């Protein structure tokens, strides 16, 4: 055998062996319900009482991390609040065999354009995520002089696109005295994944957002002009840690209003104290904002925060944080809280 041919065999043989092992484990333990093709064929045709997943549907499988699938195989449907007809395999399969069968399940999605769930990281308060989502989140921020809320609805389209609707509202103390509330500037945005690689632990996206002057700017509830914001979003896995970046510029249609540039970075870690339990994610954000006009200050804020999964399925999450101005001491420290619903993983009352 020629030396180059032997090298090819040595490189391919471990992968081929792993594929055969995963296939054999799947065929023996999983195919009777989920089908040889991963579509849930035989059981579904027999009117199985539970709707079975279609692993060939990339939209279904790719947003989930391997750890979520391993939890379900290891501990059964109970691990993620699915039907308990999904059996427990921890006494039948070793951890390495479970990893192999989960890896085999991944080959049913044949389109590499879909970013993998390991890159779907915990959501910071201000740093927009690069991963395309199907979710809704309500954020409340309050200080001594104002309370604001923001509803964000995100809808994923295909492998790499996401539409985002943002509806803010505020209740603030007025210069003339008293408190008044009102709607802020409603924004519509589109996100496009530019690059993703599970091997490199990286994802990058671009986003364009347009906001309409729907808020009462005289009460501090809006910019007072239509704004267009363009930004670049990125995330990188760093061993047990992750970093997320969000940088861009906002341009005002009315040239009497200043444009601004901004940058946000979030450093965090996703921790599962119990092996297959709920996730806790401590995060620290740094935000920088600068209006493009003479003499305008640059605002720096530090935001320590903590996200916790509430539901067993981990599709309902909450976070608390504190926004601490590092410059301009006239700005108040404010508290933050959000509730997040990952719509694709089930209803609000499911998965507990």
How many CA atoms lie less than 13 Å away from 62 in the CB half-sphere?
26
Check residue 21 and give its pLDDT. Answer: 85
Interacting residues of 229 by C-beta distance below 8 A, sequence separation 6+: 187, 189, 207, 208, 209, 210, 211, 248, 249, 250, 251
Phi/psi at 41 (nearest 5 deg)?
-60, -70
% of the chain surpassing 90 pLDDT: 62
pLDDT digits over 314-349, tens only?
A: 999 999 999 999 987 788 999 999 999 999 889 999
Least confident of 56-70, 175-189, 317-331: 175-189
Check residue 5 and give its pLDDT. Answer: 41
Burial class, 168, CB count within 10 angstroms (exposed 0-12 / middle 13-18 / buried 19+):
buried
Q: Domains of the chain, with CATH numbers?
A: 3-106 (1.10.760.10), 117-345 (2.40.160.40)
Residue 198 in contact with residue 182, Cβ under 8 Å? no
Which segments of the chain are extended strands (E)? 135-142, 146-157, 161-173, 179-183, 187-197, 202-211, 227-238, 241-252, 260-269, 280-291, 298-309, 316-325, 334-342
pLDDT digits over 220-275, tens only?
A: 788 889 999 999 999 999 999 999 999 999 999 998 889 999 999 999 999 998 88
- Residue 150 reports pLDDT greater than 90: yes
């Amino acid at each position: 055998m020629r030396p180059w041919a032997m090298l090819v065999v040595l490189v391919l043989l471990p992968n081929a062996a792993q594929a055969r092992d995963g296939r054999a484990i799947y065929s023996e333990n999983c195919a009777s319900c989920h089908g040889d093709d991963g579509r849930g064929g035989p059981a579904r045709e027999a009117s199985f009482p539970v709707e079975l997943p279609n692993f060939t549907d990339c939209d279904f499988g790719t947003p989930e991390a391997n750890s979520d699938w391993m939890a379900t195989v290891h501990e059964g449907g109970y691990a993620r609040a699915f039907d308990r007809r999904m059996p427990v395999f921890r006494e039948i399969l070793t951890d390495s065999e479970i990893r192999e069968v989960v890896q085999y399940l991944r080959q049913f999605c044949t389109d590499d354009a879909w970013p993998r769930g390991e890159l779907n990281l915990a959501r910071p308060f201000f740093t927009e995520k690069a991963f395309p989502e199907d979710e809704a989140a309500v954020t409340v921020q309050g200080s001594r002089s104002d309370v604001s809320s923001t509803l964000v609805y995100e809808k994923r389209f295909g492998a790499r696109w996401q539409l985002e609707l943002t509806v803010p509202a505020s209740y603030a103390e007025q210069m003339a005295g008293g408190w008044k509330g009102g709607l802020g500037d409603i924004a519509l945005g589109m996100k496009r994944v530019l690059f993703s690689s599970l091997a490199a632990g990286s994802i990058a996206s671009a986003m364009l957002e347009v906001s309409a002057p729907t808020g009462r700017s005289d009460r501090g509830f809006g910019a007072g002009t239509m704004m267009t914001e363009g930004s670049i979003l990125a995330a990188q896995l760093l061993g047990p840690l992750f970093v997320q970046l969000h940088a861009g510029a906002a341009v005002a249609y009315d040239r009497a209003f200043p444009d601004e540039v901004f940058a946000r970075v979030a450093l965090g870690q996703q921790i599962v104290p119990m092996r297959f339990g709920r996730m806790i994610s401590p995060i620290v954000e740094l935000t920088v904002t600068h209006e493009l006009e003479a003499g305008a200050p640059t605002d720096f804020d530090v935001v320590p925060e903590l996200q916790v999964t509430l539901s067993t399925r981990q599709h309902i999450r909450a976070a608390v944080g504190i926004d601490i101005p590092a410059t301009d001491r006239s700005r108040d420290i404010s508290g933050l809280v959000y509730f997040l619903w990952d719509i694709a993983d089930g209803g609000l009352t499911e998965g507990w």
